[in-house]
Amino acid sequence: MTLAALVDQDVAAAPAENAGSMLRLLTCGSVDDGKSTLIGRLLWESGAVPDDQRASVLAASKGRSNLNGEEIDFSLLLDGLQAEREQGITIDIAWRFFESESRRYVIIDAPGHEQYTRNMATGASHADVAILLIDARHGAKRQTRRHAAICDLMGIRNVVLAVNKMDLIDFDEATFRRIEAEFHGMVKSFSFEQIQAIPVAALTGDNVSGQSARMAWYDGPSLLDYLEEAEPAMEAVDAPFRFPVQTVLRQGDFRGYAGTVASGAIRAGDRIVDARSGLSANVKRIATMDGDRDEAAKGDAVAIELDAELDISRGAVLSQAGNAPVNGDVVEARIVWVSETPFDPEAGYLFLTNTDQVPVSSISISALIDFETLQAAPAHACTVNDIADCRILLGRSAAFDTFKELPATGNFVLVSAIDGATVAGGVITYAQSGAAAPENTFILSRDLLARGLCSDLGDSPEDRAEFERRAQEAANLLRSVGIPVIIEIE
Amino acid sequence: MTVLTSHLKLLEAESIHIFREAAAQFRTPVLLYSIGKDSTVLLHLARKAFWPAKLPFPVLHIDTKWKFREMIEFRDRTAKEFGLDLVVHTNEDGRQRNMNPFDYPPSVYTDVMKTQALRQALDAGGYDAAFGGARRDEEASRAKERVFSFRAPGHRWEPRLQRPEMWNILNGRLGKGETVRVFPLSNWTEGDVWRYIAMENLDVVPLYFAKERPVVERDGQLIMADDDRLKLEPGETLQQRKVRFRTLGCYPLTAAIESDADDLDSVIEETLSAKFSERAGRLIDHDTAGAMEKKKREGYF
């Protein structure tokens, strides 16, 4: 059989079988903990580095002095910008690719410097698994905790805690166990589902692709062995159907809504609804250049033609009738601020979802994550690299899900209305329509709170912040048991 | 040998998503078409993104007048086959000054006939976004680039100030005088491009396949004599060798490799086992350390 024929055959596989075929890895952690070296080592050992690049790395390594006596500076494989090579630091994320027998790996190497946290957040949003590096000599630093918090915010559920530079602490098990235990305690409030701690030495290769003989006490997988088994982030196959409309395609009589299925699946003949307008119709055709399809599932880029002419445009989210997203104009969210310009309650912002763009009426910050304790503390301001909880009122309604349920339609970015710069990325924790409270919605009013839960609080700024924090907590508790809540304490 | 293909459908869908986002957000996009294998895939994905409608943007080729003849034939055939709105631009000023890759250093020639020409064409067309086939696996500075890569006025790339790009939300809002380069193939590798060409049965320029061709060995590289403008230096002889090209550009600056790979199967096999990176045959990338980043800062793709 020819290779081309083999290719044809493989591609006929069902979409579900493609799902595990690509694993996107983020490497993060504080500066100098050895991220670029670890990834360079992985690439080098997996045979992903062509000979001419090997030669140029070997040549460039000779001129550098910070190599701890090793011959090769693996970090040169990743630090691609002139400024990065000159300063010996990573400024922006680097994307690298390699293949094992079974799958494609995408490695996203994130900078450790606090100054470049915005780039790390970009990387984290694209990853299935995070490798969080910690220098065994120093344990978790402030920036390590910040990166852990951003990984959590961006939706990463599978974390490898790579305790690096074990060679510099004589491969001491007790130190490794202490760092591992501290980390577990630290991220208790996060949504990580899997945490695997691995003791490694990136420079010497211990536990990177094979078991280290110098750490016989460690009986877990090596880094590469763990990654080979790791599953990409996926929601349930029966997740609700979401189809954010990118653009409308017209040709002759054809009028199709072009987009990529964000979650779930749709079949020709199904009834769909547009959450924004409430309009509904049946799916007439699922069209692609390769022919019509009976079904489109998560990840498929298609054009959907309906059996009725609806007034739907870019920004609409098509769903199945009876399982639609919230059509809301009030959003509660956790955001990471990535602009050098601090948050300004008077400034104009736009709210960008997958394909929609909505003017923001107001944003109020209620809390910031403290990077020492990783707990939320009351606050009203927010500046670069902060993680904040906030409440956003929108100029009109749009279709939303919560990030926890459907990540692809529960995330957003905020951009400056003045210069278009991206200032924050966020995940929706709650969305509702503020215009008309549906029946049986619980209204958490200022009076109600002042009489009971917050009766000990006065009028100082600290107390007012605490008042808002308690209101938010109470709302979260009620919502967690399915009670719709509106907070009215403005 | 393992042939991994299951991820190609994911890459295809991601690229289609990028095309549609850019077309929806920018006023006057253009597709930069360089005739090579990456452009072939790029064009195919663009057609898929907007099918059954026609491409909602023109296709731009920067012609230095030093491209392989077979490339130009392929370009015109492709434009006709798909009914493309093809725009061809040459830096006429450079041409009148007889700017050529033999008498000028490669970096100067490239700057005038490619980088400046591209800037001229983008400005003349008033394009606010240009699709390119660049991939992150090609070169170290490209590995750092965003999908929507913003260019300051004058088409400068500021690698230290790239816009955060979270999830698949692509923010295409432009500041005054800013333009964007859009890279739908960002996450593809050279191997993916070939495997996709095989999967989709796409036609590519025959120069990618090994054949007996007239070449001269110069500074350790094999340069093909595509026309009589190639003058032999003393001691050089024209030889017939079985060669092919891994990338296509201006013929005096694009080295051939000796190969027996004369069909898609053998090209894929050779690519996946290649010991040298793709751009090793691109003479202009090796002038100085960080050569590609420098060119990009100046407005090169």
Per-residue pLDDT, A429: 95
H or E segment at B285?
none
Q: Does B137 touch chain A (CB under 8 A)?
A: yes
Residue B143 sits at the chain A interface (C-beta within 8 Å): yes
- Which residue among A11, A79, A249 places its CB closest to the CB of B50? A249
Q: Do A81 and B168 touch (CB under 8 A)?
A: no
Provide the pLDDT for residue B113: 96
Cα distances from B164 to residues A90, A118, A126, A392, B150, in angstroms, run 16, 6, 12, 21, 11
Q: Do B144 and A355 lie within an 8 Å CB cutoff?
A: no
* Closest alpha carbon to A147 in A126, A123, A164, A178: A123
Whether A312 contacts A277, CB under 8 Å = yes
Q: What letter represents residue A485's amino acid? A: V
| Cβ–Cβ contact A293 with B under 8 A | no
Contact A13 B186 (CB under 8 A): no
Strands of B239-244's sheet in order across:
B221-224, B211-218, B239-244, B257-258
> Could you give the residue ranges of the DSSP H alpha helices within B138-208?
190-200
Kindly list the residues from chain B whose CB atom is less than 8 angstroms away from the CB atom of residue A40: none
Of A80, A104, A422, which has the smallest distance from its Cβ to B143's Cβ? A80
| Chain B CB within 8 Å of residue A50 CB | yes
Residue range B47-56: mean pLDDT, rounded: 97
Residue A76: per-residue pLDDT: 72
**Can you read off the two tokens belonging to residue A198?**
């691995």
Cβ A402 vs Cβ A410: under 8 Å: yes
Contacts of B141 (CB under 8 A, 6+ apart): A80, A81, B159, B290, B292, B293, B296
The answer to whether B187 faces chain A, any CB pair under 8 Å, is yes
Span B82-132, pLDDT tens digits: 999 999 999 999 999 999 999 999 899 999 999 999 999 999 999 999 999
Q: Do A422 and B166 touch (CB under 8 A)?
A: yes
How many angstroms separate the CA of residue B184 from the nearest CA in chain A?
14
Q: Give the model confidence (pLDDT) of B160-199 as tens digits.
A: 888 999 999 999 999 888 999 999 999 999 889 999 999 9
Q: Which residue has the tokens 């090994």?
A: B210
**What distance in Å separates residue A488's CA from the closest CA in chain B?**
31
Distance CA A122, CA B186 (A): 15
Q: What number of other Cβ atoms are within 10 A of residue B221's Cβ?
A: 16
* A287/B51 CB distance under 8 A: yes
| Minimal Cβ distance to A301: which of B3, B16, B137 | B16
Closest CA to B268 of B189, B185, B187: B189
Task: Select the residue of B10, B164, B277 nearest A338 (Cβ to Cβ).
Answer: B164
Phi/psi-derived region of residue A332, left when phi > 0, alpha when psi is between -120 and 50, beta in every other case:
beta
What is residue A4's predicted lDDT score, i.e. its pLDDT?
42
Test B17 with A8 for CB contact under 8 angstroms: no
B199 at interface of A, judged by CB pairs closer than 8 A: yes
Residue B280 with chain A: CB contacts under 8 Å: 50, 52
How much is the average pLDDT of B41-66?
97
pLDDT at A260: 97
Angle, CA of B91, B96 and B102, to the nearest 5°: 85
**A73 to chain B, minimum CA–CA distance in Å?**
15
Q: Which of B14, B20, B57 to mutate to test the interface with A (most CBs of A within 10 A)?
A: B20
Provide the shortest C-alpha distance from residue A20 to chain B (in Å): 9
Decide if B199 and A78 are in contact by the 8 Å CB cutoff.
no
- Digit-by-digit pLDDT tens for chain A (490 residues) are 344 443 433 333 333 445 568 899 999 988 777 887 888 888 887 777 777 777 777 777 766 544 444 567 777 776 666 666 666 667 788 888 888 777 889 999 888 888 888 899 999 999 999 999 999 999 999 999 999 999 999 999 999 999 999 999 999 999 999 999 999 999 998 999 999 999 999 988 899 988 899 999 999 999 989 998 898 876 666 899 999 999 999 999 999 999 999 999 999 999 999 998 889 999 999 999 999 999 999 999 999 999 998 889 999 999 998 899 999 999 999 999 999 999 999 999 999 999 999 999 999 999 999 998 888 899 999 999 999 999 999 999 999 999 999 999 999 999 999 889 999 999 999 988 865 555 667 788 888 888 888 889 988 888 888 888 888 888 878 877 767 777 777 6
The gap between the terminal CA atoms of chain B, to the nearest Å, is 34
CB of A97 within 8 Å of a chain B CB? The answer is yes
CA distance B283 to B287: 8
CA distance A175 to A177: 5
CB contact under 8 A, B143 and A78: yes
> What is the Cα–Cα distance from A173 to A151, expressed in whole angstroms?
27
d(CA A51, CA A35): 23
Give the nearest partner residue to A80 out of B4, B140, B268, using CB atoms. B140
Chain A residues lying within 8 Å of B168, measured CB to CB: 260, 354, 408
Q: What does the CA dihedral B34, B36, B42, B48 come to, rounded to 10 degrees?
A: 110
Distance of CA A358 to the CA centre of its chain: 21
What's the gap in Å between the CA of A230 and the closest CA on chain B?
A: 16
pLDDT at A33: 79
**Angstrom distance (rounded) from CA B81 to CA A213:** 62
Parse chain B into domains and list their residue ranges: 8-193+290-297, 205-286
Q: What single letter denotes the amino acid at residue A213? A: A
B198:A79 CB<8 A: no
Predicted pLDDT at B166: 96
Q: Which residues of A touch B48 (CB under 8 A)?
A: 288-290, 301
Closest CA to A421 of A481, A367, A340, A364: A340
Count of pairs with CB atoms under 8 A, one residue in A, one in B: 210
* Reported ipTM: 0.90
CB nearest to A251's CB, from B20, B53, B201: B53
> Which positions in chain B touch A80 (Cβ < 8 Å)?
139-144, 293
Cβ–Cβ contact B290 with A under 8 A:
yes
Interchain contact A119–B (C-beta under 8 A): yes
The first and second tokens of residue B275, run together, are: 């010991």
Residue of A nearest to B10 (CA): A299
pLDDT of residue A3: 40
The SS3 assignment for B55 reads: coil
- pTM for this entry: 0.88
Looking at residue A91, what is its pLDDT? 79
- State the DSSP code for B112: I
Q: Is the CB of residue A313 less than 8 Å away from at least one CB of chain B?
A: no
Is B179 an 8 Å CB contact of chain A?
A: no
Query: Is it the case that residue B275 has pLDDT exceeding 60?
Result: no
Using an 8 Å CB-CB cutoff, list chain A residues near B169. 352-354, 411-413
Interface of B with A in 13-32 (CB under 8 A): 13, 16-17, 20-21, 23-24
Contact between chains at B10 and A6 (C-beta distance less than 8 A): no
The one-letter amino acid code at A480 reads S
The 3-state DSSP class for residue B83 equals coil
Question: Do B163 and A421 make contact, defined as CB atoms within 8 angstroms?
Answer: yes
Q: Is pLDDT above 50 for B202? A: yes
Contact between A413 and B171 using a beta-carbon 8 Å cutoff: yes
Q: Which residues in chain B have Cβ-Cβ distances shorter than 8 Å to A154? A: 166
Angle between helices A117-125 and A142-154 (to 10 degrees): 30
Q: Does A154 touch chain B (CB under 8 A)?
A: yes
Q: Which residue of B has its CA nearest to A102?
A: B4
Helices within B100-244 (DSSP H only): 106-110, 117-125, 190-200
Cβ atoms of residues A487 and A429 within 8 Å: no
Residues of chain A numbered 241-260 and touching chain B (CB < 8 Å): 246-247, 249-252, 254, 256, 258-260
Of A81, A99, A121, the CB nearest to B164: A121
The count of C-alpha atoms lying within 13 angstroms of the C-alpha of B32, restricted to the half-sphere facing its C-beta, is 25
CATH of domain B8-193+290-297: 3.40.50.620
CB contact under 8 A, B53 and A250: yes
Task: Give the pairing of strands A104-109 and A22-29.
Answer: parallel
Nearest residue to A325 (alpha-carbon basis) of A242, A407, A246: A242
